[in-house]
Amino acid sequence: MAQSPEIDTNTPVGDSMKQTTCYMCACRCGINVHLKTDADGKQKVRYIEGNRDHPVNKGVLCGKGSAGIMQHYSPARLRAPMKRVGPRGSGQFEEISWDEALDIATDWLGTVRKTDPKKLAFFTGRDQSQSLTGFWAMKYGTPNFAAHGGFCSVNMAAGGLYTFGGAFWEFGDPDWDYTKYFMLFGVAEDHASNPIKIGIGKLKKRGAKVVSINPVRTGYNAVADEWVGIRPGTDGLFVGALIHELFRTQQIDLDYLVRYTNSPWLVIQAPGAADDGLFARDGDGNPMIWDKATDAFGNGKAADIQPALTGTRTLPDGRTARPVFELMAERYLGGDYTPDAVAERTGVPADQIRQIAAELAHVAFKEEIVLDQPWTDWAGRKHDKMIGRPVSMHAMRGISAHSNGFQTCRMIHILQILLGSIDSPGDSATNRPTRNRRRRTSCRMARPATSNRNCRWAVRIWGFPTGRNICCWMARATPAVWTRGLAGTRPYPPMV
């Protein structure tokens, strides 16, 4: 048997190296491209490797990225504009010059623009220059343009931005270093590919539990500790059942809701009126709450208030209003979201839903993390520590993105909010916990470990079409009304 010739792995494969990013998927990993000059004096790609200094992949490169050289030199690659010369569908094309192609396009576009530019509709596919194509479309005069992201992930990004001011899309990675419980919703293998592989590796090494929700068990799901084989398109309903269980068992971070969200804001209850379902506002336009300290209406944006999360209040104009929290609890405690009610539609057993909800609450409230991280809140108060919930979630393409993705992601984010597991940075001018500020969907949040925990509101948990109320990262503070030890939760105030 002939032996393979020895290869000196220290010998450079090329005579130069360029650094760029990989385009084989949406991850955009950093790569080193080794080039070698051939006999004709042309540089050709000889080898592609991961760039260890790149912040995204830190040198890790998957098989797709390594095979990028095959795409670059594929005999099927288009190398010039193609003009159809036969009947539509015949597949008959010929190469033309760029000048001729631009002349043809200019003639077509010019004719449409002179008549009615809105008649132009175009789709750019999976490009990474949507800001430029959008700018061009507006200058041309048409609103009818789209790109791959609008059908894939932008709906998810909008769901996150609308709910809490951030998004999973595509690189809103969890805090891999502190997470103890990780839920992965329908993530395709070509999104944040290598960073997720690195992160899941860290979780597995530390013994953190990984739960995947996906109809098929491939890729990331194959290494999960628990796979939830859900029926496609029903993951939002599954999350609703988890929320139901958190409400039912009274395992919700009320302190977080009061400090960071609009849950105390009063919502107008006036069926048939134009402002039914909108926030009640005072004469200055500020959202109204019921302040338990003064037993009167208060400004929802004020710092020194003790807002009630429940109770029907009569507004100065005689109409009634109820807090966001009470309305949300009423919705999710209804029969539509019980584990038994959703089990058949989702394909997930009711007992498994209850088990996952209990595990989420246990890790969030019984295994919370205290970080020795000094920080300053929006009001200028300094704090020595932060409290974190070591529960993280991530979602991307797949069931979450392609089946009612906007509402599905909003449900996932509400679940995170109820657990207090979304980062909330303090004042941008004075608070600089860099790692914390970077990961908005991680298990940590900037919240002081003190009895008077005041900080910045950053979360919006009710979906009313209130226009300017969608003010994510809004300055907001309030003293903690309900207190809690490092383990356990407190009962709700009475639902009156």
> For residues 260 and 459, is the Cβ–Cβ distance under 8 A?
yes
Q: In this predicted model, what pLDDT tens digit does every residue of 431-462 receive, in sequence order?
A: 333 232 223 333 333 333 332 223 333 344 44
Please name the residues in contact with 121: beta carbons below 8 A apart, sequence gap of 6 or more.
142, 144, 145
The confidence band for 279, taking pLDDT boundaries of 50, 70 and 90, is very high
- Look up the pTM and report it: 0.78
Residue 282 has pLDDT above 50, yes or no: yes
Q: What is the DSSP letter of 469?
A: G
**What's the pLDDT at 5?**
65
Q: In this predicted model, what pLDDT tens digit does every residue of 298-312 receive, in sequence order?
A: 999 887 789 999 999
Please give the torsion angle defined by the CA atoms of residues 47, 53, 57 and 63, in that order, rounded to the nearest 10 degrees: 10
Q: In this predicted model, what pLDDT tens digit does every residue of 32-65 receive, in sequence order?
A: 999 999 888 899 999 999 999 998 899 999 888 9
Phi and psi, residue 351, nearest 5°: -65, -35
CA end-to-end span of the chain: 85
Please name the residues in contact with 245: beta carbons below 8 A apart, sequence gap of 6 or more.
339, 353, 354, 357, 358
Cα separation, 255 vs 441, whole angstroms? 19
Interval 238-258 mean pLDDT = 94
The confidence band for 120, taking pLDDT boundaries of 50, 70 and 90, is very high
Interval 326-350 mean pLDDT = 96
**Beta strands 145-146 and 122-123: pairing type?**
parallel
- CATH 2.20.25.90: does it fit domain 16-72? yes
Burial of 392 (0-12, 13-18, 19+ CB in 10 A): buried
Residue 329's H or E segment, with its range, is helix 324-332
Cα separation, 385 vs 436, whole angstroms? 12
Residue 125 has pLDDT above 70, yes or no: yes
Residue 336 has pLDDT above 50, yes or no: yes
Cα separation, 481 vs 303, whole angstroms? 13
Domains of the chain, residue spans: 16-72, 80-115, 154-257+329-469
Tell me which residue has tokens 């790149």: 54
SS3 assignment, position 122: strand
> For residues 184 and 199, is the Cβ–Cβ distance under 8 A?
no
Q: What does the block give as tokens for 67?
A: 């095979």
**What's the pLDDT at 470?**
23
Residue 203's H or E segment, with its range, is helix 193-206
User: H helices of 223-307, where?
Assistant: 235-248, 254-260
**What's the pLDDT at 28?**
84
CB atoms within 10 A of CB 25: 18
Q: In this predicted model, what pLDDT tens digit does every residue of 180-213 receive, in sequence order?
A: 999 998 876 666 788 888 899 999 999 999 999 9
User: What's the CATH code, domain 154-257+329-469?
Assistant: 3.40.228.10
Least Cα distance to 311 among 277, 244, 265, 374 occurs for: 265
**What's the pLDDT at 154?**
75
The residue among 148 and 344 whose pLDDT is bigger is 344
